[in-house]
Amino acid sequence: MITYAAAAGGSAFPAWQASCPFHALNAKTGCKKRISQFGDSDQDRADALRRLKHWSSQAGRYQYQREHIGFHPSLAECPPIDVIEAAIITRRPPGKVITDEEFDRRALAASAPSASSSGGTRGRGRARSSLGRGRGSSAAAAAAVPVPSQASSSSSSSSSSSSPSVASSSNSSSSGGDSAADSSSGAES
Dump pLDDT digits (tens) for 81-120.
999 999 888 888 888 899 999 999 999 998 876 544 555 4
Residue 93 confidence (pLDDT): 84
> For position 31, what pLDDT does the model report?
95
Q: Is the pTM of this model over 0.75?
A: no
The better pLDDT of the pair 137, 56 is held by 56
Amino acid at 148: P
pLDDT band, residue 169 (cuts 50/70/90): very low
Cα-based distances in Å from 80 to 34, 69, 110: 20, 22, 42
